[in-house]
């Protein structure tokens, strides 16, 4: 017979759950924690004391309660002291942020990236250099508890090896996390996740999809990635490559796709498809600004731009109808350059959904744009870096050397 959880297991679980409330929800009173967690007051007091002693939270008297009696102490994350490094590799940009517990971006650095200028392995040195510069500017009492990176490619489950990435010049498997960890030199493992998967988690924990348990997130850059959250959990698949919605086929025999197939959603809706349809595909003109320019031209009455958005909106709506029929999400979120594309083609997307999605699935469906916008992938990387802190707060702090 399997033994039940030990007292220590329960305490570790409760510490993590309490810290998660403070990390995601911000300052919260002990009284509120007692009611939300369904634990008694003395247990909450013991847990907050442990987290305070570890330097993860602090407790303060509330400013004004307006109520008689002894006020309940407010628990706040130690955002300026406990932090992680978040890295974001996107086709056109490299970003590094120092993110405090509670999700506060304390410091950030961004540089434009020339597509195809550096292979993924070489980027590790650039990113680690930025992080080291930031670290030199921190106070002595700060502690780095984790690091994670978002990449626009396939990340193998378990070891964070990037195995494919047409937009990253990945020709063979790259142990990106290991390389970044070595160059950072903090003695910390660096987790790696697919950018769209991490952006989905970010929107689910801090963005427009907060409190939504079933959502489909679509991320557009050069290609189209996705993150599917069902019942509050990210769908990873057997090897960690699940959710590649960019490669569902919407137009058999259609445009060639970087994956080797034809008529994938990415090939019909991606940046190149839109720019070509709008007669604006020229070398050196790409990225979000080029996509935005098509939407703005359509708004001004440019017929070619309007037709291009209609065409792309048709394929996008068809792809989403398939996803809605399979996953029955409460919300579909458009992120990256797909925010602009969706805003410029919402009527098309909706009419395709009406035609192809089953009525019970679409009746209560909400279509939304990402609220974290260009930071969704970076915020997602930060959340991945914090995940192990929330799983075992005291152990992680002890290892981080405090």
Residues that bind Zn ion (CB under 5 A): 247, 257, 259, 261, 264
Task: Give 34 or 261: the residue with its C-beta nearer to Zn ion.
Answer: 261
Strands of the sheet containing 57-60, edge to edge, are 28-29, 74-77, 57-60
Closest residue by Cα to residue 225 from 250, 243, 249, 206: 243
Contact 326, 210 (CB under 8 A): no
Residue 158 C-beta: closest distance to Zn ion, Å? 25
Helices (H) and strands (E) in the chain, counts: 14, 15
Residue 340 C-beta: closest distance to Zn ion, Å? 22
Task: Give 160 or 227: the residue with its C-beta nearer to Zn ion.
Answer: 227
Task: Pull the structure tokens for residue 272.
Answer: 């190149």
Residue 226 CB: number of other CB atoms within 10 A? 27
Task: Give 69 or 260: the residue with its C-beta nearer to Zn ion.
Answer: 260
- How far, CA to CA in Å, does 275 sit from each of 191, 272, 370? 34, 5, 22
Task: Give 247 or 362: the residue with its C-beta nearer to Zn ion.
Answer: 247
Residue 129 C-beta: closest distance to Zn ion, Å? 34
Backbone angles phi, psi at 285, to 5 degrees: -115, 100
Residue 216 C-beta: closest distance to Zn ion, Å? 18
Residue 244 C-beta: closest distance to Zn ion, Å? 8
Instruction: Map 385-401 to HEC letters.
Output: HHHHHHHCHHHHHHHCC
The helix or strand, by DSSP H or E, that contains position 227, with its residue range, turns out to be strand 224-230
Q: What is the CA radius of gyration of the chain?
A: 23
Task: Give 165 or 393: the residue with its C-beta nearer to Zn ion.
Answer: 165
Task: Give 86 or 248: the residue with its C-beta nearer to Zn ion.
Answer: 248
109 has which bridge partners?
96
Task: Pull the structure tokens for residue 119.
Answer: 């292979």
Task: Give 52 or 261: the residue with its C-beta nearer to Zn ion.
Answer: 261
Three-state SS for 90? strand
Residue 82 C-beta: closest distance to Zn ion, Å? 41
Residue 322 C-beta: closest distance to Zn ion, Å? 14
């Amino acid at each position: 017979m399997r033994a039940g959880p030990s007292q220590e297991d329960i305490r570790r679980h409760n510490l993590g759950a309490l810290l998660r409330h403070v990390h995601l929800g911000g300052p919260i009173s002990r009284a509120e924690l007692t009611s939300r967690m369904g634990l008694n007051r003395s247990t909450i007091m013991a847990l907050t004391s442990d987290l305070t002693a570890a330097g993860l939270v602090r407790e303060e008297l509330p400013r004004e309660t307006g109520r008689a009696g002894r006020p309940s102490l407010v628990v706040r994350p130690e955002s300026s002291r406990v932090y992680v490094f978040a890295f974001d590799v996107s086709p056109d940009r490299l970003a590094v942020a120092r993110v405090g517990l509670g999700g506060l971006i304390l410091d950030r650095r961004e540089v434009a990236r020339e597509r195809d200028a550096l292979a993924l392995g070489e980027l590790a040195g650039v990113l680690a250099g930025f992080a080291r510069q930031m670290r030199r500017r921190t106070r002595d009492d700060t502690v780095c508890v984790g690091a994670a990176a978002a990449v626009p490619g396939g990340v193998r489950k378990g070891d964070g090896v990037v195995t494919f990435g047409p937009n990253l010049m990945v020709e063979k498997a790259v142990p990106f996390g290991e390389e970044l960890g070595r160059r950072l030199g903090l003695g910390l493992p660096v987790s790696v996740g697919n950018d769209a998967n991490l952006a989905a988690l970010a929107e689910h924990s801090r963005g427009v999809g907060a409190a939504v348990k079933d959502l489909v997130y679509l991320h557009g850059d050069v290609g189209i990635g996705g993150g599917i959250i069902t019942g509050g959990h990210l769908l990873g698949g057997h090897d960690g490559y699940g959710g590649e919605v960019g490669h569902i086929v919407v137009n058999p025999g259609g445009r060639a796709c970087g994956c080797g197939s034809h008529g994938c959603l990415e090939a019909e809706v991606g940046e190149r498809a839109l720019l070509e349809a709008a007669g604006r595909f020229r070398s050196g003109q790409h990225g979000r600004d080029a996509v935005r320019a098509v939407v703005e031209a359509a708004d001004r009455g440019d017929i070619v731009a309007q037709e291009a958005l209609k065409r792309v909106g048709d394929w996008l709506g068809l792809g989403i109808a398939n996803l809605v029929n399979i996953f029955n999400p409460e919300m579909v979120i458009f992120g990256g350059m797909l925010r602009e594309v969706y805003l410029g083609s919402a009527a098309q997307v909706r009419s395709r959904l009406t035609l192809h999605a089953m009525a019970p699935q679409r009746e209560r469906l909400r279509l939304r744009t990402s609220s974290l916008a260009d930071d969704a992938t970076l915020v997602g990387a930060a959340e991945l870096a914090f995940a192990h802190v929330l799983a075992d707060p005291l152990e992680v702090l002890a290892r981080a050397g405090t």
